[in-house]
Amino acid sequence: MRPTHRPDRYPTTPGTGDDADPVGIPIRPGTPLPPGTVFARPGQPTAVAAQASIRAPTHAPTRSSDAVPLRRANTGPAHRRWGWPARPALAIPLPRRLLSIAALTAVALTMSGTTGMAQGATPSPLWPRGVDVASWQHPGGGPIDWNAARASGLSFVIIKATEGTNYTNPFFAADRAAATKAGLVVGAYHYARPAQPLSTAVDQARHFIAVTGLTRTAGHLAPVLDLEDTGGLDPTALAAWTRAFLEEVESRTGRIPILYTYRSFWTGKMADTHDFAKYPFWFAIYNDQATPGWLPGGWSNWALWQYTSGGAVPGITGNVDMNVLCCTSTALAVQADGTHSEIEKWYAAAGPTQVVLGAPVGVENPAGGGGRWQQYGNGLAFWSVATGVHALHGPIATKYLGVGGSNSFLRRPVSDVEIAGAPGGQQARFQGGWIYWHPSTGAHEVHGRILQTYLALGGSTSGLGLPTSDEYSVPGGRESAFQHGRLRWDAATNKIITLPPALG
């Protein structure tokens, strides 16, 4: 993960760069600043920022001054190393009317030698620290001294394993083995090369897992997707590609993959989608602050933070990316426990549900549509990052498997078996429909437009009662039967018609 600067991340004229507006002036770290200078968070009025400086004189992270981390990618068989220049001046965004005043003040204070320098903060020393490395940390093919790195205070390392569908880091296996022997928690990342068709996401995920294995061991972090290249895909297609990769990894490994990216890539190239907020977030941002600041994509917290590319670590030649894990050694141990899948961890804490489901039967398997499933003596459990773990048992589980399980139109369960509104009834909700069961009616599915109308009428507590059939074809549409009526979808009008019970 070798970051580099992108000049357009430091807008100096209106309307340029990913995060243009406001305008910035170059101010080097260490430059004296006028007392009370505060930089507003995106969307925060300048007046509010000024008031904040009185209440809490801290440096809030600013969007336009964040350096943009980009990992070094392989460009072909002859891998090209990108240089890392001396740290440039940071463009600090200021309201336009204050530009000349701030610039003159900074120059004047520098010349007069005034104390009170603008100092960069660092992450808490209590947070576990680690590095990420690739082949670039092996100039001339030399090894990394992982014992020296561990002795310097590092707790973990994440190593580049693969890129695209063909490249494998030739130092990956040896680095992982040596780092593990030195007592470091290890992890592996894949540098994404998005492309059409979307099946390339699955191909890349399988290449990644073929190199790393399932990572189902102690002391191994979950697999990482390094996403900072669009491959020419628009935000919608890129999100679909990313989802396909992550779901393939979670289906194969039973672990929740970690997603690495940086702010302007996510807000711009991924249109700031919130669809991935359930995945652990590895946030790359170099802001000289004690925290990474506001998070894109709907993430409420970060799992890892890559805060600089200029780290110096004994045993590693040259600069290296530095990271912290949020936010304790206990959290690191939990994230590095690959010995149990998400279903196994859920089952161990399931309590009374264990009694209902019974003992596991056979082994856990990938589920159609992403995620995994496990059979038990009296039921099933399905898991995916999108849905969490949900248990099915009894006639509803039998019905679900009968229509095709997660490979069917119902897809994955989003609830356990629940008590239905109708007395004595049960129900379970799925991504593509519901299943209802009652001793007098049996188990039946309802989905699509018919389900929408049924729920709007009150579901099992409505005048229609419980379903007495699955959805079936009729001339000109589809229909479901209920205890006290029918709902028919008319293909010509795309409307739902309520009908009385069928005769006989």
* Residues known to be catalytic: 132, 226, 228
Amino acid (one-letter) located at 265: F
Tell me the C-alpha distance between 277 and 443, whole Å.
Answer: 34
Say which residues have a Cβ less than 8 Å from residue 247's Cβ, sequence separation at least 6. 369, 370, 371, 384, 385
Tell me the C-alpha distance between 249 and 215, whole Å.
Answer: 11
Amino acid (one-letter) located at 445: E
What tokens were used for 465? 């009662």
Tell me the C-alpha distance between 30 and 288, whole Å.
Answer: 11
Amino acid (one-letter) located at 303: A
CB–CB of 316/130 below 8 Å? no
Tell me the C-alpha distance between 115 and 117, whole Å.
Answer: 6
Amino acid (one-letter) located at 463: G
CB–CB of 457/446 below 8 Å? no
Amino acid (one-letter) located at 266: W
**What stretches of 228-325 show up as alpha helix (H) in DSSP?**
235-253, 263-264
Tell me the C-alpha distance between 325 and 83, whole Å.
Answer: 27
Reference 226, options 162, 135, 155, 322; nearest CA is: 162
What tokens were used for 372? 């995994």
Handedness of CA 87, 91, 92, 97 (dihedral sign): positive
Tell me the C-alpha distance between 412 and 388, whole Å.
Answer: 10
